[in-house]
Chain A
C-alpha cells in the first residue's frame, strides 16, 4: 500500500496556495500565478496518484493510500482517507477542473480572493472524494458550500444574489436529511457494538440494520445527493445557478460538484444500504429516466447556452444515476466513467461559452448567429465537445453511455430502452443549438468577433485530448475503475439482480 501522504498533500497544497494567494493580494498578478503554480502541482500529483494506484495490494478491498486518525472521540471525528477506483478519477477531475478553470476563466476583479475561494473549494472537494469516513465526507461535502456560495455571490451575473441563495438553501436543506441519516446510522452502530462512536465507512457498511430502517436511511441519503447531482425533480436550483455563476464557478459546479452527488449516491446510498435497493431501484431509475427525457426536452427550448448546458447536465446526470442504480457492474462502471467524461465535456462547454460571452457580452442564443465564419477554430472545438456529449462513437461520451445502457439493458431493460431515446434527444438539442449559433451568416457584432486565441486553444487542449483518447482507448481507466465497482456491487447485490 502507498503512503497516505500523497492524499494529505493533495488536500493541504491548495490550502497553502490559497493562503499565499491572499497574502500576496497587493501585488498585481502574483496571486494568480501562485494559484496557477499550485494548480499545476496539484494536477501533476493527482496524475502521479492515478498512475501509482494499485488495487491488488493487501488492504481494505481495492483501497490504496489509506490511513485513519481519530481527531475527536466525543464527536466521532476522524481523518480517514483512501482512494479506490471509484474516487481515483474524481481526484484527477478535481485537480483538472481547478487547472482549467484558472487558465480558461480568469476573473480579474478581486482576483486574489477569487483564486483563494477556488483553491479552498478544490481542497474541500478533493477531501470529500478521498474521505473513507462517512462523517468526514459529510463535513467536507458541506464545506464546499461556503466557497461555492461566495464565488457565485461575488462574481456572478446580474441575478447572482438570488442564484447563490437558492443554491445554498437547496443544498443545505438536502444535507439536513443526510446529516440526520448519518448520525442515526452512527448511533445504531454504536449501540450494537457498545464501543466508541465511529463513522468509519467499513464499520458502518457492515452494520446490520433492518429493511425498514435501511429504506428510510437510503431515502435520506438519496435526497441530499439528488439535490446535489441534480436529479429530477430536485434540479430546479441548477439552471439559474449555472447561468448566473461566473464561468469558473459554472465549471466547478457542473463539472465537479455535481459529481459529489452521484459519487455519494454510489458510494454511500447504494454502498451502505443494500437492503433498500430492491425497493428503491425502480423509483430512482424512473426518476433518472424522467430526468433524461425532461432535461433533453427543456434543453431544446432554452433561450441561452448556459441553461442549455445546465439542462443537458440534468439529462447526463440522469444517465449516471441510471448506471449507478442499474445494479450491474458494467452499468456502474460506465456511470463512474461518465462522471469523469461529463466533467471534461461540460468543462469544454462552459469554457467556450465563456469565450463567446467575453466577446459578445451575451450567451443568449438569439444574439448569436453565424459564428462559424469569423471563429472557425472555436466552432471546431465546440463541435468536438458537442459530438462527445451526444455520444458519437470514437469520442469519450460514447464509451460511457454505451456501458451504462448495456448494463441497464441487462438488468432493467425497459428503463434502458426509454433512456436510449434520450441519446437521440441530445443530438436534437445540441445540433439545433449549434445550427442557430454557428451556422448562418454573421452580421454586425457577430461578424467581428475574433477567433479563439492561442491561449484559449491551449486551454482546450487537455479537454479535447481527453475526449479523443478516452474515446478510443479507455482501457487504462476502466482497468482501474472496474475492480472497485465490482467489489461494491457484489457487496450490495451478492446474488445478482433479477430482471
Chain B
C-alpha cells in the first residue's frame, strides 16, 4: 500500500504556465457556485465583471509569462504535456482579449434580450479555458481535452436562444457534426499513438526523426484523421457545411466567439501538431493542405457572393479567411507559423467587432440579419456604419488596414516555402471576396434609405467596436510591432 503510493510521482507543475487555465476555471466555478447559492439569478453586471476581470487577469499573466519565456526560454510542465513558449503566450493573450471583447458585447446583448443569470459567462469561460489548453498543449490527449471543453461549451451556447428554431437547429447540427469530428480526431490520436508509441508531440517528433517508418499507412491514417478533426473545427472546405447554419443560428455574440476564440485555439494546436510533431512528414501533409486551401479559399469566396443573410455571408467570409490562415500552416516554416499567428491575432478583434455591429443591427430578438437592414446605415449613423465599413475592408485585406499585412505575411511565407501558385490562387480568391465585401460596404453608403430606424449603441459594445477598429487601423499603418512580436514568439517555439 505504502509502496504503491510512493511509486506514484506527481509531475512537477509550473504554476505560471497553468495560471490562465486555472483563472478561467476558477471564475467559471465561482459563477456556477454563486448561481446555485443566490436566491434569485446572479446579477448580470456581477457576472460580466467577474468574466472581464478574469480575462484581463489572463492578459496580464500573458505579460508575465512573456517575460519568463524571454528570460528562461521555453519550457514544458506536467510531464511535458503542457508547454510554455512564446507561441502559447501570444495565443493566451489573444484568447484573453477575445473573451473580454465578447463578454462586453454579450453583456449589452443579454440586457437587450432580458436574459438574466450567468449561464452565458460560465459557458464562455469554460470554452475559453478549452481554447487555452489547446494553445498550450504539447500532447495529443491534452489537445483533445481542450477541443472537447471548448466544443461542449459552444454546443450549449449556440442553442442559447431557445425561442428561435434556427438556434436549436444550429446547436443540434453543430453537436452532431462536432461529435463526429471529435470521434475522428480521437481515432486519429489512437492511430498516431499506434504508429509512434506516444501521444506527446515532442516524443512523436523525436521518434519520427530517429526512425524510418517502413509501413507508414498507420501514421498516415492517424495524421489524416487528426487533420480532418482540425479541418472541421476551422471550417475548411469540404468540412465546412455546418458553419453557415451554425453561424446563422447561434446568438450573434456567440457567433463572434466562434469566429475568434475557436480559430485561435484550433490554429495554434494545428500548427503544433503539423509543424512540431509531424514536421518530418511535411511532404506528405502538404499536398492535402494544398487541396484544402484552394477549396476553402475559392468556395468560401464564391458562395459568399450569393448570400443575402449577413451572418451567413460572414460565415463564408470566415471560411475564406481560414483558407488564408492555413497558408501559413502549409508553409511549415517558422515564418509560416508566425504569419498564421499574426493573422489569427489580428483577425480575432476585427471579427468580434464585426459581429458586435451585427448584434446591434440584429435588434431585439436577434432577427434583422438581411442585408437590406444595412441599407444606408453609414448615412444615418456615420460612426457605426463607418466602423463596419472599415472592419469589412480589413477582412478584405484592403491597404491601410491590418488585414493587408495579415494577408501579406501569410502570402510571403507561402511564397518563401515555394508555393507561388498557391499564393496566387488564394490572392485571386481575395479578389472575388473583395466583390462581396465592397458590395456590402456600398450598401452601407446607399443614398436611397436614409430614413431608417436609428440603432442605439450601448457604450460597452461601442467600446468593443472601437477597439476592433483601432486594431484594424493602427496596426494597418504601423504593423511593425505585431510582426516583430509574432516573430519572437515563433522563435521561442518549442519544437
Q: Are A139 and B399 in contact (CB under 8 A)?
A: yes
Taken together as a complex, chains A and B put the C-alpha atoms of A217 and B427 apart, in Å, by 16
Taken together as a complex, chains A and B put the C-alpha atoms of A184 and B415 apart, in Å, by 6
Q: Which residues of B contact A73 (CB under 8 A)?
A: 484
Given contacts A161-B442, A169-B435, A184-B420, contact A72 B400 (CB under 8 A): no
Pick the interface stretch among A81-89, A172-180, A328-336.
Answer: A172-180
Query: Which chain B residues in 421-469 approach chain A with CB under 8 Å?
Result: 423-424, 427-428, 430-431, 434-435, 438-439, 442, 445
**A165 interface residue per 8 A CB criterion:** yes
Taken together as a complex, chains A and B put the C-alpha atoms of A154 and B398 apart, in Å, by 18
**B412 interface residue per 8 A CB criterion:** yes
Given contacts A72-B479, A75-B480, contact A176 B445 (CB under 8 A): no
Q: Which residues of B contact A154 (CB under 8 A)?
A: 445
**Candidates B393, B405, B423, B434; contact of A75 at CB < 8 Å:** B405
Given contacts A145-B398, A183-B415, contact A75 B424 (CB under 8 A): no
**A445 interface residue per 8 A CB criterion:** no
Q: Are A146 and B399 in contact (CB under 8 A)?
A: yes
Q: Are A165 and B411 in contact (CB under 8 A)?
A: no
Scoring A149, A172, A184, A190 by chain B CB atoms within 10 A of each residue's CB, the highest score goes to A172
**Candidates B398, B415, B442, B487; contact of A74 at CB < 8 Å:** B487
Q: Are A180 and B480 in contact (CB under 8 A)?
A: no
Between A and B, how many residue pairs show CB distances below 8 Å?
81
Taken together as a complex, chains A and B put the C-alpha atoms of A343 and B404 apart, in Å, by 30
Q: Are B445 and A153 in contact (CB under 8 A)?
A: yes
Q: Which residues of A contact B427 (CB under 8 A)?
A: 176, 179-180
**A143 interface residue per 8 A CB criterion:** yes
Q: Are A143 and B400 in contact (CB under 8 A)?
A: yes
**B408 interface residue per 8 A CB criterion:** yes
**CB-nearest residue of chain A relative to B431?**
A173
**Candidates A74, A149, A173, A187; contact of B338 at CB < 8 Å:** A74
Q: Which residues of B contact A164 (CB under 8 A)?
A: 438, 442
Q: Are A179 and B408 in contact (CB under 8 A)?
A: yes
Q: Which residues of B contact A153 (CB under 8 A)?
A: 442, 445
**A377 interface residue per 8 A CB criterion:** no
Q: Which residues of A contact B430 (CB under 8 A)?
A: 172, 176
Q: Which residues of B contact A75 (CB under 8 A)?
A: 405, 408-409, 412, 479-480, 483
**Candidates A76, A169, A187; contact of B434 at CB < 8 Å:** A169
**A142 interface residue per 8 A CB criterion:** yes
For chain B, the count of residues having a C-beta within 8 Å of the partner chain is 31
For chain A, the count of residues having a C-beta within 8 Å of the partner chain is 31
**CB-nearest residue of chain B relative to A135?**
B408
Query: Which chain A residues in 149-197 approach chain B with CB under 8 Å?
Result: 149, 153-154, 161, 164-165, 168-169, 172-173, 176-177, 179-180, 183-184, 186-187, 190
**B367 interface residue per 8 A CB criterion:** no
**B113 interface residue per 8 A CB criterion:** no
Q: Are B415 and A180 in contact (CB under 8 A)?
A: yes
Q: Which residues of A contact B487 (CB under 8 A)?
A: 74
Taken together as a complex, chains A and B put the C-alpha atoms of A77 and B412 apart, in Å, by 12
**CB-nearest residue of chain B relative to A187?**
B416
Q: Which residues of A contact B445 (CB under 8 A)?
A: 153-154
Q: How far is the CB of A423 from chain B (nearest CB, A)?
A: 37
Query: Which chain B residues in 460-495 approach chain A with CB under 8 Å?
Result: 479-480, 483-484, 487
Query: Which chain A residues in 339-392 approach chain B with CB under 8 Å?
Result: none
Q: Are B484 and A165 in contact (CB under 8 A)?
A: no
Q: Are A72 and B483 in contact (CB under 8 A)?
A: yes
**A71 interface residue per 8 A CB criterion:** yes
Q: How far is the CB of B289 from chain A (nearest CB, A)?
A: 18
Query: Using an 8 Å CB-CB cutoff, how does the interface string of B179-196 with A read, 1 for contact, 0 for none?
Result: 000000000000000000
**Candidates B393, B399, B424, B442; contact of A143 at CB < 8 Å:** B399
Q: Which residues of B contact A71 (CB under 8 A)?
A: 480
Q: Are B483 and A172 in contact (CB under 8 A)?
A: no
Taken together as a complex, chains A and B put the C-alpha atoms of A77 and B478 apart, in Å, by 10
**Candidates A77, A146, A173; contact of B398 at CB < 8 Å:** A146
Q: Are A77 and B400 in contact (CB under 8 A)?
A: no
Q: How far is the CB of A347 from chain B (nearest CB, A)?
A: 26
**CB-nearest residue of chain A relative to B480?**
A72
Q: Are B415 and A187 in contact (CB under 8 A)?
A: yes
Q: Which residues of B contact A177 (CB under 8 A)?
A: 424
Taken together as a complex, chains A and B put the C-alpha atoms of A264 and B324 apart, in Å, by 28
Q: Which residues of A contact B434 (CB under 8 A)?
A: 168-169, 172
Q: How far is the CB of B140 from chain A (nearest CB, A)?
A: 31
Query: Using an 8 Å CB-CB cutoff, how does the interface string of A108-144 with B read, 1 for contact, 0 for none?
Result: 0000000000000000000000000000000100110
Q: Which residues of B contact A184 (CB under 8 A)?
A: 415, 420
Q: Are A180 and B399 in contact (CB under 8 A)?
A: no
**CB-nearest residue of chain B relative to A166?**
B435
What 6 pairs across the A-B complex have the smallest Cβ distances? A72-B480, A176-B427, A173-B431, A142-B399, A183-B415, A74-B487
Can you pick out 9 interface pairs between chain A and chain B where the beta carbons lie within 8 Å of each other?
A77-B479, A146-B400, A154-B445, A173-B431, A179-B411, A183-B416, A184-B420, A187-B416, A190-B416
Known contacts A74-B338, A75-B405; 20 additional CB pairs below 8 A are A71-B480, A74-B487, A75-B479, A76-B412, A77-B479, A139-B399, A143-B400, A145-B399, A146-B399, A146-B400, A165-B435, A169-B438, A172-B431, A177-B424, A180-B411, A183-B411, A183-B415, A183-B416, A184-B420, A187-B416
A contact set with B: CB distance below 8 Å? 71-77, 139, 142-143, 145-146, 149, 153-154, 161, 164-165, 168-169, 172-173, 176-177, 179-180, 183-184, 186-187, 190
